[in-house]
Copies of this chain bind each other. A is one copy, B any other.
Amino acid sequence: MKAGVNATGRRIDGWLTSGLTPAGPGFTPDPKGSSIHAQIVLFDGFDPLDAIAPFEVLHAGGAFSDGAVSVELVSAEGPREVVSGTGGLALRATAALAPERPGLILVPGASGRVEAPDDVPDHDPADGRPRPEEFVSVRLARALTTDLPVLLKAALDCPEVTVGTVCGGSLLLAMAGLLEGRRATSHHLAMDALGAAGVHAVRARVVDDGGLVTAAGVTSGLDLGLYLLERELGPRIAHAVEDLFAHERRGTVWRDEGMAPTARP
């Protein structure tokens, strides 16, 4: 038998044929594309839990499905160390974001202070006041000065790509003018800003607007990952991951279909 090819000819190097996780850095996903590839986008100031929660959920989904999902951390700039907004914690992006690669592209939010930058009377480091770069809004705005908006627009325009967001990730897209008229959710503190950017903001843990699936605050990234696993691979894979992680998906995934509720009963 050829190295890395099993009896059915399917490539399996580094993947588990069963169990919980593929092998480490050497893993090579199925190049023929029978699997779903997920790119998780890191940018300076990202929220670690926003990124790690769906990373690990999707990764476990891949392990439970004999490699039907592969996940990687990417950045607009390519492979690099990306410093989060939380305590200097950094993760390594291993590839450049490929916006038209079929599959999933997930955008986390930023972590940091949530007050408006105007609240800071001065920025002199000598007096110990927080600096403007610590604000979530400033971190998101800075991400807009990178290639990210152009790349994410290409992703949203690509019919073979589903773009997902966690927490302020939807606000990042909205601030880039990419979500006008779309249905989306975000962290509860970002819902007003989302509406101000022309988005139909829906208070739900996960909102599925077709090629765009958005999630609410931080831990909703678990629910997003589980929902995407169910949508792409079915409920049994999603349930197995739920059980493994001791997290039951919460809330109805909001979609713009079926009957609309009338006035409150």
Contacts and interface: CB of A to CB of B under 8 A. Distances in A.
A113 B19 contact: yes
Interface stretch (A84-92, A147-155, A228-236, A253-261): A84-92
Contacts of A263: none
Interface residues of A, number: 69
A162 interface: no
B111 A86 contact: no
B59 A20 contact: no
A111 B217 contact: no
A36 interface: no
Contact of A59 (B6, B59, B87): B87
Interface stretch (A23-31, A95-103, A174-182, A191-199): A23-31
B21 A86 contact: yes
A142 interface: no
Interface string A55-74: 11001000000000001110
Interface of A: 1, 3-6, 12-27, 47-49, 52-53, 55-56, 59, 71-73, 83, 85-92, 94, 111-115, 125-131, 134, 136, 187-188, 205, 216-220, 222, 244-247
- The 5 lowest CB-CB distance pairs between A and B, nearest first, are A217-B246, A19-B113, A25-B88, A219-B247, A12-B128
